[in-house]
Amino acid sequence: TMVQSTASFTSESLAALKQRYAEAGQGHVFKGFDELDDKAAGEFFGQLSGIEVERVTGFFKKATAAHGQEGGDKIEPLEAGSFASALDRAQADERAQWRAEGMRLIGANKVAVILLAGGQGSRLGSSEPKGCYDIGLPSQSSLFAIQAHRIRRLQQLSGNTATIPWLVMTSGPTSAATQATFAQAGYFGLREEDVFFFNQGVLPCFDFDGRILLEQAGRVAVAPNGNGGVYEALRVSGALDWLRERGVEHVHSYCVDNCLVRVADPEFVGYAALRGAECGALVVPKKAWDEPVGVICLRNSRFGVVEYSEISSEMAQLTRAGSGELA
């Protein structure tokens, strides 16, 4: 992560750290440092040492600069050959090929699943990890249980020869509770050694002027770094090495509150594999041109997600020649 705790300090190391923060424009965090007791000062020094202050300050500047640009990006619809539709009946034969390839890869133990489960169920009226939520099925199964059942079923469909490793990304508030839930449920019928827990990282909080905020004297305010933090978290947790040792070549990632997800979807995995794609995205078509959802398109000739607020009404209403579908 970009925020981690280290050890005690000397006057020389403290001076060096203060200089780093001052050069990054964050010297204000040391205000009141001399008033902390030895234990609090040591902990604060450890937290500050673990923050890549130049890098995170750069993140803020880059994000706010991009937000302030008007009309700087060239946004275009995806090219026709860069995607396919599972709703197109004319592609039934191709879909069968995608699924067959996906099942082959699953049977060869080449596919793993990453679950992004750092969120709490606070908006659902629960303080538990969101994956513990009962969505109201007759079985009273939690989201975790539903997804584990789908993994088990795919393993069975492969002839019980496959193992689909399940990597579960948690956060500080959900880590212990999530692991306890899995243990109490006997890993929902999966083998404990096939489940890998890892924590997403955190980043300092900033005010609108780009100054790092303090939660209190002697402690930087931090927050989870979002789903995008999965890449660094996979690396620093050892998860990538764990996957390499197992010979995994394809990974399906999804969010915990997606109750309809086809975990390790063999059709999608097979499609991406046969296309030789480094990365793929599974989406649903918009119901109407003015539906307020983001879309995948080309931003400056590169694939990306563009928010509906970034697209003009004229562009949102563009259709594809022949099909008449929204572009």
Amino acid symbol at 204: P
Six-digit token string for 186: 């006997």
Encode the chain (327 residues) as per-residue pLDDT tens digits: 444 444 468 889 999 999 999 999 999 999 999 999 989 999 999 999 999 999 999 999 988 886 555 556 888 999 888 898 888 887 888 999 999 999 999 999 999 999 999 776 556 666 688 888 888 999 999 999 999 999 999 999 988 789 999 999 998 888 999 999 999 999 999 999 999 999 998 899 999 999 999 999 999 998 888 888 899 999 999 999 999 999 999 999 999 989 999 999 999 999 999 999 999 999 988 989 999 999 999 989 999 898 888 888 898 998 888 778 888
Three-state SS for the chain is: CCCCCCCCCCHHHHHHHHHHHHHCCCHHHHCCHHHCCHHHHHHHHHHHHCCCHHHHHHHHHHHHHHHHCCCCCCEECCCHHHCCCCCCHHHHHHHHHHHHHHHHHHHCCCEEEEEECCCECHHHCCCCEHHHCECCCCCCCEHHHHHHHHHHHHHHHCCCCCCCCEEEEECCCCHHHHHHHHHHCHHHHCCHHHEEEEECCEEECECCCCCECEEECCEECEEECCHHHHHHHHHHHCHHHHHHHHCCCEEEEEECCCCCCCCCCHHHHHHHHHHCCCCCCCCCCCCCCCCCCCEEEEECCEEEEECHHHCCHHHHCCECCCCCCEC
The whole-model pTM stands at 0.82
Q: What are phi and psi of 176, to 5 degrees?
A: -65, -45
d(CA 113, CA 120): 20
pLDDT of residue 126: 65
Contact 112, 248 (CB under 8 A): yes
For 15, 37, 198, 321, the CA distances from 187, given in Å and listed in that order, are 49, 44, 16, 50
Six-digit token string for 183: 């243990």
Residue 29: burial class (beta carbons within 10 Å; 0-12, 13-18, 19+): buried
Closest CA to 230 of 194, 201, 251: 201
Q: What's the longest Cα–Cα distance across the chain?
A: 72
Contact 118, 170 (CB under 8 A): yes
pLDDT of residue 4: 45
